[in-house]
């Protein structure tokens, strides 16, 4: 056990060190490059952005202003302490329920730290900078979620509370959906106009999940209820480490496993199709659909929450690796490494705590916590779809 803690600690330190190395690399580039000392693609965009003068005070660059986000003069400079604390919350909530990491990271970057309003200020003066900053915020969110997913996956795997075949199958389906759909439909099909109706659908999903926490609803998922009850009793007795997910059978059309002696079965091809459909819907709507993975596994595959969070983390991890690579390597998007490095420390702390505190929260309340957060997401998408803006953060 000590070796596993040591390995996770080293993993976290390596991640933070990589962040600081990236920051130092950018810093050295600033000393050599022009364009206000900003190198690469950002420097070229900044060079084409109007300079503040006279009546032009917004959507412009003031070279004499203190440097903030990405080293841009006049950009917001978030508090490192607030960033650390918020990241701990993001890591904890994602590693506890297996979802909402991106939404919560976005609340921090977009609303609390004011990065979205700053990016919007360039929408009419330099749309390229607006898009670059927006992508940077998006990738920053993905870095936090990706690290949380990595740490959570390792933690839950060591605790035997992760169904690897299910996670891999849905992860592969998700990658195909999120990659193929934009290529086939770019400029042809957009369902963003239906975002409000999707928000209503999220309310229905939340209601369905809440029904699943009632006695009547739980009685229809006897295996999940029995496994959850056995796990909760084992935790109370201090023997929860002796049993966990054990794969009994695996093929392309059937996978069987047990959790605390209770057997579960699913079809890998069908769950891969489920991952594909969720990712495709998310791509159509231009949203992150990770929060749909959890109800899929609890209400369609009929698993207890104690093994859903870790499995969801594995699925999200697969998607985050691909997405971050595409943004940073293919598109050349930058992140503010000094700030991200601090946030990643918080993510690591929160993601180490989550899997260890989750087992003390009853299955029924884990689902109700998810329902509460799903209502929050439903309000955001419904208001954004019908009103044109979200009435809850991130705005």
Element (H, E) at 325: helix 305-325
Name the pairing type of β-strands 255-259 and 245-250: antiparallel
pLDDT at res. 212: 87
pLDDT at res. 163: 96
Tokens 């595959």 found at: 301
pLDDT at res. 199: 85
The more confident residue out of 10 and 366 is 366
Q: Give the global pTM.
A: 0.85
In a domain? residue 276:
yes
The domain of 337 spans 2-387
Cα torsion for 217, 223, 224, 228, to the nearest 10°? Answer: 120
In a domain? residue 392:
no
pLDDT at 152 over 70: yes
pLDDT at res. 220: 84
pLDDT at res. 288: 65
Check the CA dihedral 212-300-313-182 and report its sign. negative
Instruction: Supply φ then ψ for residue 265, to 5 degrees.
Output: -135, 150
pLDDT digits (tens, 9 = 90+) for 327-353: 888 778 888 999 999 999 999 999 999
Q: Which residues of 356-377 are buried (b: 16+ CB within 10 A; e: fewer)?
A: eebbebbbbebbbbbbebbebb
In a domain? residue 394:
no
pLDDT at res. 41: 83
pLDDT at 1 over 80: no
Q: What is the mean pLDDT of residues 26-33?
A: 42
CA-nearest of 94, 109, 160 to 352 is 94
pLDDT at 23 over 80: no
In a domain? residue 128:
yes
In a domain? residue 158:
yes
Cis amide bond preceding 233, omega within 30: no
In a domain? residue 395:
no
CA-nearest of 134, 116, 122, 129 to 59 is 122
pLDDT at res. 36: 62
Domain count, the chain: 1
Instruction: For the chain, give the longest Cα–Cα distance.
Output: 73
The more confident residue out of 282 and 6 is 282
pLDDT at res. 31: 40
Integer Cα distance of 37 and 29 in angstroms: 8
pLDDT digits (tens, 9 = 90+) for 239-288: 655 689 999 999 999 999 999 999 999 999 999 999 998 888 776 665 66
pLDDT bin (cut points 50, 70, 90) of residue 237 is confident
pLDDT at res. 350: 97
pLDDT at 38 over 90: no
CA-nearest of 357, 382, 346 to 84 is 346
């Amino acid at each position: 056990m000590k070796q596993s803690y040591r390995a996770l600690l080293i993993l976290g330190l390596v991640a933070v060190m990589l962040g600081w190395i990236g920051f130092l690399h950018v810093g050295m580039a600033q000393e050599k490059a022009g364009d206000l000392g900003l190198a690469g693609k950002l420097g070229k965009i900044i060079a084409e952005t109007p300079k503040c003068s006279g009546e032009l005070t917004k959507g412009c660059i003031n070279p004499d202003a203190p440097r903030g986000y990405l080293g841009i003069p006049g950009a917001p400079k978030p508090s490192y302490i607030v960033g650390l604390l918020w990241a701990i919350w993001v890591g904890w909530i994602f590693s506890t329920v297996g979802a909402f990491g991106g939404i919560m990271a976005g609340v921090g970057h977009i609303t609390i730290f004011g990065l979205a309003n700053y990016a919007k200020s360039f929408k009419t003066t330099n749309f390229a900078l607006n898009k670059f900053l927006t992508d940077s915020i998006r990738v920053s969110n993905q870095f936090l979620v990706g690290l949380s997913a990595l740490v959570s996956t390792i933690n839950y795997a060591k605790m035997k509370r992760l169904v690897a075949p299910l996670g891999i199958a849905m992860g592969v389906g998700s990658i195909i959906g999120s990659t193929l759909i934009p290529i086939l439909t770019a400029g042809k099909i957009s369902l963003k106009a239906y975002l409000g109706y999707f928000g209503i659908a999220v309310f229905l999903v939340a209601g369905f999940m809440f029904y699943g926490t009632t006695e009547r609803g739980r009685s229809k998922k006897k295996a999940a209820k029995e496994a959850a009850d056995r796990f909760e009793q084992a935790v109370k007795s201090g023997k929860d480490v002796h049993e966990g997910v054990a794969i009994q059978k695996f093929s392309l059309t059937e996978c069987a496993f047990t959790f605390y002696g209770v057997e579960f079965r699913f079809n890998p091809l069908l769950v891969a199709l489920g991952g594909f459909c969720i990712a495709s819907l998310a791509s159509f709507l231009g949203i992150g659909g990770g929060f749909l993975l959890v109800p899929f596994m609890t209400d369609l595959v009929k698993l207890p929450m104690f093994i859903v969070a870790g499995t969801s983390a594995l699925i999200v991890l697969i998607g985050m690796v691909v997405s971050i690579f595409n943004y940073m390597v293919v598109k050349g998007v930058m992140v503010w490494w000094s700030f991200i490095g601090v946030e990643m420390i918080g993510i690591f702390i929160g993601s180490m705590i989550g899997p260890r505190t989750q087992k003390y929260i009853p299955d029924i309340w884990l689902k109700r916590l998810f329902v509460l957060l799903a209502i929050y997401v439903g309000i955001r998408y419904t208001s954004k779809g019908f009103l044109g803006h979200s009435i809850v953060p991130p705005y």
